[in-house]
Structure 1
Amino acid sequence: MTRLVPMSSVDAAWLGMEDPTNLMMVTGVLALDGKVDIKRLRTLLDTRLAPFGRFHQRVARPRMRGGMLHWQDDSQFDIDNHVSHIALPPPGGEKALRELVSELMSTPLDTTKPLWHVHLVDGYAHGSVVLARIHHSIADGIALVRVMLSLTDATPTPKPAKRKVESTNHAGPLDWLPGLLDNPARLADLARLGVQGAYRLGRMVVLPPDPPTAFKGELGRRKRAAWSAPLPLEDFRAVGKAFGATVNDVLVATATGALRRYLENRGEPTKGVAIRASVPVNLRPLEQAHKMGNSFGLVFLTLPIGISDPVKRLRSIKKEMDELKRSPEALMAFAVLNVMGYTPVAVEKAGLRFFGSKATAVLTNVPGPRESLYLAGRKLDSVMFWVPQSGHLGLGISILSY
């Protein structure tokens, strides 16, 4: 008999957010400096993902309405069902890759199998691309970056496979407080939840809907992937140091400026315009980054598109970011997700629509590796990823440093 592991209510909430117009997948692209052999990649995935048991488990739905979801070991697991080999149409290049990423991020995963798939793509520049699609119910961005890093090496020579890692995230009445009792630094957050938490939750509820802009509209099933050229991290560090801001503050201010420019190029008004982004906040201690499951809260961050001066824009964002860091809003959002995971899907979707109306975009920044890495013997040239947008949001902005 195959093993059943109760799904945490937060992971169940992310599974319940699945919608034909917003698939709850994290999509990642790893561009390599040479061609990768499909057999070598398949063997690498089979051995390196084995320590993360969740990649061998499928979703087991209850026979009775209202029953608990479980992760179930897939007795029919076959790595060939999760690895595909395709080639970009000639002449290949960035446009063809964008079209492929857009198509695949619009294609649902097979729910009868573990919720992930990797595509080896040939015909891009001078090397291969590894394109991974992983359902958000398996893990959050921090954990998935660690998973992807487990596939890489510091040198072209492969390292031995890792030992088995327990990836359970059992459901329970206190599963919305991950690591709080083991992390004294989080106890202050717990103490503030009583008063400040109620205030912040009330603030989230009474926020007015975001204003209509070109970034909001009726959602379709087809998604469009895009990316910028890489930007030097040292430039962001220098700007942050000059203005007493963090690298993240500068990145968010830069993204806000790009959104302003987009509206201006469309001839749309920007004076006084401000939109909100739903920003994930990691609640997982770094030493637990390898564990599967979702352990983050969400905060609403105002993006002051109407501020034309880049310095004033940066200071405005830094001020609000500092305030959000001191508040328990992320913990309260995590608690709300925990409750939503226990509710019927119809109730959950209604809650998503309500909170989703208060934002325009999802914006996330995940720290990546600080040194050069190799995958299947090939140097990793670049890493990109796209997060799903819940609550009928149509715009996602993902930032990763490498």
Structure 2
Amino acid sequence: DRNTEITALRETLYETVFMRKLPNGVLADPEYQQYYSKYLGFLFWKWDRNFDRNYHIRPYFDSEHTSEGKLRITSENEFRQIIKTLTWAPFKAKTSPWECLLINNLQLNDPAPDEKATFPLSVLIFRMHHGLCDGFSILHALMQELGKISMKTAVKPHYARKSFWRQMVEICTFPVLAPYQFSKTMVDAYDVNDWHRGTQGTSSKPFNASFTHRIPTQLIKEVKDRHGVSFTAVVMSTIMGGIRNSMIRQGLKVPRKMSAAIPVPLPNHPHKLRNHWVFTFLKLPIGIEDPLKRLQKIEGNIMKLKHSLVPAFSFSIIPIVGATFPCLMKIFNKNSFSTILISNFPGPNISDDWGFFTTKEGRHNVIDMNFIAGMGSGNVGVGLFMLSYKDGVRIITEVDGSLLPDDTSVELLNEEILKEINYLRIAPGYV
């Protein structure tokens, strides 16, 4: 909610997060000072003997003033270009793959979430390689270690409750049923449509991008309660409605379905830097014109996925894939199936009295929190990322330039998604 001095910020971050020590004096997360070293094609952790504290946490700009001596003010459009570039930029060789970049004097177009904060704002960009850890690990570091906010305030994913006998049946049938469901999911997930990047055969990086204003989470909750569905179903259905309308505007044929690669968190995440999740695919009926029917169909598909053995099977084969030669691992790690990637991450649901951290300068209120990621290896051409924070959430959208030519086109896609949310808000429901 105000400008931040880099030295005090750096000291706080190293003390509370990146060089945090356990009671026995051992580093809690030594990976922050390690990098990947390749041997015979395999990757191993290696200590960075020249670890530079100032490099890993630094200002994005060399100076807070322009060459003309004026105060450097970063507009929303400039900030978007910075995020696009950083998302696809490689990390420095032989250094731990993470960095914190500070930008002061940020000026966004939309009002602040709490309608109290005014210019100047500052933004702290935490950029890391996904091989280092997953989003839960980062959220734990920023919330619990830095902000002293319990992870219990984050909305937990709902796992399907199964009776004892259901669990016994699944255990007995797992060796046969799980591989079948996994194979069927892979076949069903393969997309053929005008937005599937494999069909286009071209790619442009960085992807074009845009982000919405903060959407009140209460609005999405009202929609889900009105129609008797889940929060996730509302998000997925409105995204499909937005993409459908964008394809129609382009004069393209709308396919019967699109597949989305979605990360599924696993229970009992360790309090360390780990990747404790799996990818699976969700079939989304974009061909259904009626938004209400589409919403109910997606809710049904989500329920099927929750009772599916596919996530458990995917997790069980990770050690097998990881033990193979690198050339085979690349095949398994490539997503040639889905058109889109959707990651909807539940963040902290806290009041305005919380959501801050303290440096020697004093208290800094955190008024917004978001994330964005790359598409990974494969043919995914559209990515949508959401992290709820306090009482709102933004949708950050990335699209390959061969599908939508510029940021303005992506912004129009986001507007179509917002229209779908507003339609479902007033459409006849169960109440």
Write out aligned runs for 1:160-175 (5 A).
none
1:252 to 233, 236, 249: 236
Establish whether residue 41 from structure 1 lines up as the match of residue 9 from structure 2: yes
Q: Take 1:234 and 1:34, find their aligned partners in 2: how far apart are those partners?
A: 27
Structure 1 equivalent of residue 388 of structure 2:
401
Structure 1 regions of 5+ residues with no counterpart? 1-32, 156-183
Give me the identity figure in percent: 24
Q: Take 1:297 and 1:149, find their aligned partners in 2: how far apart are those partners?
A: 23
Structure 1 equivalent of residue 336 of structure 2:
357
**SS of match in other structure, 2:215:** coil
Structure 1 equivalent of residue 345 of structure 2:
366
Task: Report deviation, 1:106.
Answer: 1.7
**SS of match in other structure, 2:245:** helix
Establish whether residue 82 from structure 1 lines up as the match of residue 82 from structure 2: no
Task: Report deviation, 1:243.
Answer: 2.3
Write out aligned runs for 1:88-103 (5 A).
92-103=74-85
Structure 1 equivalent of residue 141 of structure 2:
147
Task: Report deviation, 1:346.
Answer: 2.3
Spell out, residue by residue over 1:348-371, the C-alpha distance to the aligned partner (whole angstroms, 9 max, x if none). 223344xx2221111111111111
Shift in CA distance, 123/185, structure 1 to aligned 2, threshold 3 Å: farther
Structure 1 equivalent of residue 322 of structure 2:
341
Task: Report deviation, 1:141.
Answer: 1.8
Spell out, residue by residue over 1:176-218, the C-alpha distance to the aligned partner (whole angstroms, 9 max, x if none). xxxxxxxx99976655532321211221343363022235242
- Please tell me the residue identity of whatever aligns with 2:370: M
Root-mean-square deviation (CA, aligned residues, Å) is 2.6
Establish whether residue 70 from structure 1 lines up as the match of residue 53 from structure 2: no
Establish whether residue 323 from structure 1 lines up as the match of residue 304 from structure 2: yes
Q: Take 2:196 and 2:182, find their aligned partners in 1: how far apart are those partners?
A: 26
**SS of match in other structure, 2:337:** coil
**SS of match in other structure, 1:383:** coil
Q: Take 2:93 and 2:309, find their aligned partners in 1: how far apart are those partners?
A: 35
Structure 2 equivalent of residue 291 of structure 1:
272
Equivalent residues of 2:87, 2:373 under 8 A apart: no
Structure 2 equivalent of residue 112 of structure 1:
94
2:132 to 129, 135, 138: 138
Shift in CA distance, 185/111, structure 1 to aligned 2, threshold 3 Å: farther
Q: Which has the larger radius of gyration?
A: 2
Structure 1 equivalent of residue 262 of structure 2:
279
Q: Take 1:108 and 1:346, find their aligned partners in 2: how far apart are those partners?
A: 21
Shift in CA distance, 390/308, structure 1 to aligned 2, threshold 3 Å: same
Structure 2 equivalent of residue 60 of structure 1:
37
Establish whether residue 199 from structure 1 lines up as the match of residue 180 from structure 2: yes
**SS of match in other structure, 1:55:** helix
Task: Report deviation, 1:302.
Answer: 1.3
Equivalent residues of 1:192, 1:328 under 8 A apart: no
Equivalent residues of 2:195, 2:381 under 8 A apart: no
Shift in CA distance, 249/208, structure 1 to aligned 2, threshold 3 Å: closer
**SS of match in other structure, 2:292:** helix
- Please tell me the residue identity of whatever aligns with 2:348: P
Shift in CA distance, 215/149, structure 1 to aligned 2, threshold 3 Å: farther
TM-score normalized by structure 2?
0.71
- Please tell me the residue identity of whatever aligns with 2:5: D
Equivalent residues of 1:281, 1:330 under 8 A apart: yes
Q: Which protein, 1 or 2, shows the higher relative CO under an 8 Å CA cutoff with sep ≥ 6?
A: 1
Structure 1 equivalent of residue 106 of structure 2:
124
Equivalent residues of 2:195, 2:339 under 8 A apart: no
**SS of match in other structure, 2:345:** strand
- Please tell me the residue identity of whatever aligns with 1:139: C
Structure 2 regions of 5+ residues with no counterpart? 21-28, 67-71, 108-118, 150-163, 390-431
Shift in CA distance, 122/190, structure 1 to aligned 2, threshold 3 Å: farther
- Please tell me the residue identity of whatever aligns with 1:397: L
Structure 2 equivalent of residue 209 of structure 1:
190
Number of equivalent positions: 334
